[in-house]
Amino acid sequence: MCGIVGIVSEREVSSTLLDAIKRLEYRGYDSVGMVCIADGVLSTKKDIGKIEEVEKKVNFTALKGTIGMAHSRWATHGGVSKRNAHPHEDCNGNISLVHNGIIENHNELKAELQKKGHHFTSDTDTEVIAHLIEENFTGDILETTRKALCRLEGSYAIGVICTKKDDELIAARKESPLVIGLGERENYIASDIPAILPFTKKIIFLENGEIARLTKEKVEVFDLKGNPVTKTIETIDWGAKQAEKQGYPHFMLKEISEQPTAISDTIGDRMTEHDILLDEEIQKAIPNAAGLKRLIVVACGTSWHAGLIGEFMLEELAKIPTEVEYASEFRYRDPIITEGTAVIAVSQSGETADTIAAIREAKKKGAKVISIVNVEGSTIARESDAVLFTHAGPEIGVASTKAFTAQLTLIYLLTIYLAKKRGLLPQPQISNRIRDIRKIPHQIQEILENQDSIKRLAELFFRHTNALYLGRGINYPIALEGALKLKEVSYLHAEGYPAAEMKHGPIALIDNKMPVVVIATKDNRTYTKVLSNIAEVKARGGIVIAIALKGDKEIEEKVDFVLSIPENSYILTPLLAVIPLQLFAYYVSVLKGKDPDKPVNLAKSVTVE
Ligand code: M6R
């Protein structure tokens, strides 16, 4: 949802700004723009399209100046056009502004400012902020911006520069993410850490309602009343290289391939051979984990699918009644939080607006919040009572892949931890379950090494227009996730369904052109039922692609194509079954000539509601 970066330095900044904004392109790619100040004059270049295309057209690095900002847009208010691309200026071309978020009272403010003679050149909600600052400008850009912010309703992360104070970069946030990076005689702002990782690892996380003044020598932070705020400088341990493609054609493929490492790193030292060591991370929030009566998982998209699998794990092993809610729906009901209820928020970015709103609602009602988050310092991480970080490293591809399996890993560890606390898992079973998860990275590696068969299957199907994904039990959410991956990166229409529900409607869609992907891993629970569902599809001429266990001869006779995965315990099959589906979606996207890293209309983290 829009990426912003800004730099104030003693050297020319345009090429560094370009480098930084490219790392944020996953946040939006409808248009891109850059502004610098040189000799007291603002110079702006912007246009619609991806950064690479626009860069060729406008040559951003020709911009001169030691202070500047850049913005990649995911359109909310105002269509995708050059006039709506950021940065936006005031009437006199003295103030320039980049923004991520939504100004909800922009219509009223615009009418008020127009009456005072302000002339607007875009259809965005953002432009009002530049005019509001201009209208009240006192010569002190920090102070005037602070006062302007007090008039805004909605969400914002902003960067402001002004020709009258051309050594100051102003930054502020409310509900939209923004970090400050501290460099050597230069300082930065960015929507997300990967943008500035090559330049610094020293980060200040700006909180809601804070405003900062950056010069090349120092950073000062204030609250919206103007009081100074003392901030902690955090050191980020991600390497800059981790946020690069490292020879892979796309981030999506790189991140799919990184899953063995992401899972091993997420396990880290949270496990010994015989025990799960989560006390330190959980106990301060939930001193009496054994007494938990109910869990509510809140999440969106792929993280919500991880939550559905979590529900299965938590109910089966830890015997805690668990509900999984779309974060966006949870907050608009009147959720009942009874004593002993804890909320688990699952989010890669930690900045998804709906998930943030859901945890705030839960906390207001007295629930403790445990979050499972990938990005350190993110809003969800900071606002939760306890945080379990997935150590998947930066996930840049818009389609979530490695974050998903890392989330499943942590939910699994949490489940065993809670089951043990509740006296439900005898020691030998804990040791067995630990052995099972330890096998997963190697087993995923095995699937990755055989990805040619998945690529060949994509070659057969990339011209199709529809697909159905079916799964049962713990693999039903994998059907949802497989369909979501295909939809988002290849624009094929795909539906995920519980296999048995198919006959209550979707069966009407099946004909000899419909590929039906069925997760049919052999177990003693639903396998025979899934075979019946497969027979129902075949009877209507459907083409069946099965995700099955290696060595399953029975299935080979019943379906058209088989993608094999290694065997592990039933409860861990989702971590394996999802891999061929991620790869299938990736290859279909590439074969269709699409860019899987930047699907149209999507943005990596959805920071608006
Ligand atoms: O950062 P989060 O995990 O909170 O994001 C939630 C969803 O926006 C995200 O999973 C989205 O569905 C992905 N594009 C799926 O690949």
User: Is 347 a pocket residue for ligand 1 (Cβ < 6 Å)?
Assistant: yes
Distance CA(377)–CA(190), nearest Å, equals 13
Does ligand 1 lie within 6 Å of residue 597's CB atom?
no
Strand 154-162 vs strand 95-103: parallel, antiparallel, or unpaired? antiparallel
DSSP of 354-423: HHHHHHHHHHHTT-EEEEEESSTT-HHHHHSSEEEE-------SSS--HHHHHHHHHHHHHHHHHHHHTT
- Cα distances from 399 to residues 46, 251, 288, 388, in angstroms, run 27, 9, 37, 22
Q: Is the shortest distance between the CB of 300 and ligand 1 below 6 Å?
A: yes
What does the pLDDT read at residue 385?
94
Torsional sign, CA 280, 297, 404, 537: positive
| Residue in 375, 605, 607 to alter for ligand 1 test, most ligand atoms within 8 A of Cβ | 605
321: tokens are: 């009644």
Going along 39-164, which residue ranges are E strands? 41-48, 67-73, 88-89, 95-103, 154-162
Taking CA atoms only, the protein residue closest to ligand 1 atom 14 is: 399
Q: How high is the pLDDT of residue 247?
A: 83
d(CA 361, CA 307): 18
Q: What is the mean pLDDT of residues 126-134?
A: 96
Distance 159 CA to ligand 1 centre (A): 26
3-state secondary structure of 348: coil
Angle at 118 between CA 116 and CA 121, to 5 degrees: 155
324 — pLDDT class (breaks 50, 70, 90): very high
- Strand-by-strand arrangement of the 219-223 sheet: 88-89, 95-103, 154-162, 165-174, 210-214, 219-223
Could you give the CA distance from residue 580 to residue 572 in angstroms, rounded to a whole number?
15
Ligand 1 pocket, residue 398 CB under 6 Å: yes
Q: What pLDDT is stored for residue 606 in this prediction?
A: 67
CB-CB neighbours of 327 under 10 Å: 29
The closest alpha carbon to 607, from 355, 330, 331, 361, belongs to: 355
Residue 39 falls in which region: left (phi positive, over 0), alpha (psi -120 to 50) or beta: left
Sign, CA torsion 47/53/55/56:
negative
Strand order in the sheet with 234-235: 41-48, 31-38, 67-73, 3-8, 187-190, 179-182, 202-205, 234-235
Contact 529, 499 (CB under 8 A): yes
Q: How confident is the model at residue 608 (pLDDT cuts 50, 70, 90)?
A: low
pLDDT number for residue 609: 65
605 Cα nearest atom in ligand 1: 1
Distance 47 CA to ligand 1 centre (A): 27
The answer, yes or no, to whether any atom of ligand 1 lies below 6 A from the CB of 378, is no
Looking at per-residue confidence, does 386 or 607 come out higher? 386
Nearest CA, atom 11, ligand 1: 301
**Bridge-partner residues for 223, per DSSP?**
210
Q: How far is the CA of 398 from the centre of ligand 1 (A)?
A: 8
* Beta strand extents in 39-186 (DSSP E only): 41-48, 67-73, 88-89, 95-103, 154-162, 165-174, 179-182
Region 2-8 average pLDDT: 94
Question: Pairing state of beta strands 493-498 and 515-519?
Answer: unpaired
- Residue 603, pLDDT > 80, answer no
Q: pLDDT (tens digit, 9 = 90+) per residue, 135-162?
A: 999 999 999 999 999 999 998 999 999 9
- Express each pLDDT in 430-458 by its tens digit: 999 999 999 999 999 999 998 999 999 99
Question: Does residue 76 have a pLDDT over 90?
Answer: no
Beta bridge partners of 515: 543
Helix axes 127-135, 141-149, angle to 10 degrees: 120
Nearest to 172 by CA among 201, 204, 146: 146
CB 545 less than 6 A from any atom of ligand 1: no
Q: What is the mean pLDDT of the chain?
A: 92
Mean pLDDT, residues 553-581 taken together:
96
Q: Choose the residue to mutate in 250, 256, 297, 300 for probing ligand 1, maximizing ligand atoms within 8 Å of C-beta.
A: 300
How many CB atoms within 10 Å of residue 336? Answer: 9
For ligand 1, whether the C-beta of 302 sits within 6 Å is yes
Q: Which residue has the tokens 């025990």?
A: 275
Atom of ligand 1 nearest to the CA of 399: 16
What's the pLDDT score for residue 501?
86
Mean of pLDDT values over 351-367:
93
- Ligand 1 atom having least distance to the Cα of 400: 16
Q: Are 161 and 168 in contact (CB under 8 A)?
A: yes
Q: Is the pLDDT of residue 550 over 70?
A: yes
What confidence tier does 499 reach under pLDDT thresholds 50, 70, 90?
confident
Give the position, in ligand 1's atom list, of the atom nearest the Cα of 375. 1
Active site residues: 2, 604
Q: Are 441 and 544 in contact (CB under 8 A)?
A: no
CB burial readout 397-432, b (16+ within 10 A) else e: bbbbbbbbbbbbbbbbbbbbbbbbbbeebeeeebee
Quick one: average pLDDT of 121-145?
A: 95
d(CA 603, CA 270): 32
Q: CB of 358 closer than 6 A to ligand 1?
A: no
Q: Is the pLDDT of residue 288 over 90?
A: no
What is the pLDDT at residue 357? 94
Q: So what's the pLDDT on residue 74?
A: 83
d(C-alpha 396, C-alpha 278), whole Å: 28
pLDDT of 428: 94
Residues 6+ away with beta carbon under 8 Å from 289 = 282, 283, 417, 418, 421, 422
Q: Is a pLDDT exceeding 80 seen at residue 62?
A: yes
Assess whether the C-beta atom of 66 lies below 6 angstroms from ligand 1.
no
